[in-house]
Amino acid sequence: MIQRQGYHSRLKTTPALRRSLAQYAGACRFVWNKVLALNEGRYLAGVPRLNYYEAAWWLTQWRHSEEYGWLAAVSIHALQYCLRDVERAYQNLFAGRTAPPRFRKKFLSDSFRFPTDFQRDGDRLKLPKIGWMRFWKSREIAGAIKNITIRRDGDHWTVAFQAERAVEPPVHPSTSAIGIDLGIATFAAVSDGTLYPPWNAYRRLQTQLAKAQQRAATKVKFSKNWQKCQTVIRRIQATIARRRKDYLHKLSTSISTNHAVIVVEDLQIGNMSRSARGTAEEPGRNVAQKAGLNKAILDQGWGMFRSMLEYKQLWRGGVVLAVNPRYTSQTCPQCGCVSKLNRLQQALFSCIDCEYTSHADVHATQNILALGQRER
């Protein structure tokens, strides 16, 4: 089987190098937004959107024009790969897999990719029209490098190598199967009785982030002091993301290593975290409480956790099954009674019919595991 794996490292940059990387990211962001704007105009006019080849033709015209000639200072391969990303975004939209592509903002989507035209020598990397740079090499890269992605991460720039290699179909060393119930008070409850507490990366730094945002609000926009405040804000936000990802990686690796079959709930996170504000004609109720709940849901990283489990199980020869979460927390595993009254407390399940009691989250995981075994 073909195994694809990413290797992330931080670049060792200088002020001049950071300016060059920012120039590349800005050019790719401009091309992405320009194509989206053209396609929106064509959609309103009833004209088919630009495909990749038509957008590539326009890119050539822009690079040779007087208005957009500055694009010629950036490698054509990075800009072409950006067009491929736009094309892939539209294909995912029409296939019903994702939402429509959105315009990119500075500092929020600063990245670019090279499919070819780069060189690597140990811990050194050469990019076209930029030159050689070093990165922190923490481990060897297994397989052939297919592309690299340069991305801004807070105050730093990182490089991600996507490697591909052929491996024998793996066989998972374990034969056990578990069910996992994701929540807020308990991040993950496992059917074997293990409870993993939430990390709450955002909540831990929420006060610090709010103070930095309040200081930025008092500065003149785009002034030097405003830019310094934005640097602090980006640093805090990057720390939140790294801490959340680190926790999810450690937890998903531990679970994936010890269990061959993992059954999870097929949660519709977008629907669960939708705003309750409503409209002017029909305003919502309990808006502040729902906003706090939405913030807590998104702070957990349930979608990222499931993705990590899926690809790690694929590498190890295991499987991840997703089941409908409906009534899993209200169904009694002993008599099959389904009622809201079975769970009047957050952490206690008590059947009103047969008086069976259990920890609510662990009980839900047993129902999830049973559903997965029936559907497998």
pLDDT at position 50: 95
pLDDT at position 336: 83
Distance in angstroms (rounded) separating the CA atoms of residues 86 and 81: 9
DSSP for residue 143: S
| The dihedral sign for the CA sequence 99, 266, 274, 198 | negative
pLDDT at position 53: 96
Q: How many helices (H) and strands (E) does the chain have?
A: 9, 14
- Name the token pair of 153: 């991460």
Distance in angstroms (rounded) separating the CA atoms of residues 30 and 213: 27
- Burial of 346 from C-beta contacts in 10 A (0-12 / 13-18 / 19+): exposed
- Residue 280 scores a pLDDT above 80: no
pLDDT at position 51: 95
- C-alpha 333: how far from chain center: 35
pLDDT digits (tens, 9 = 90+) for 13-29: 999 999 999 999 999 99
pTM above 0.85, yes or no: yes
pLDDT at position 217: 95
Q: SS3 for 70-97, per residue?
A: HHHHCCHHHHHHHHHHHHHHHHHHHCCC
- The label of the residue with tokens 């690079």 reads 63
- Residue 346 scores a pLDDT above 80: no
Helix (H) or strand (E) holding 201: helix 201-217
Active centre residues (catalytic): 181, 265, 361
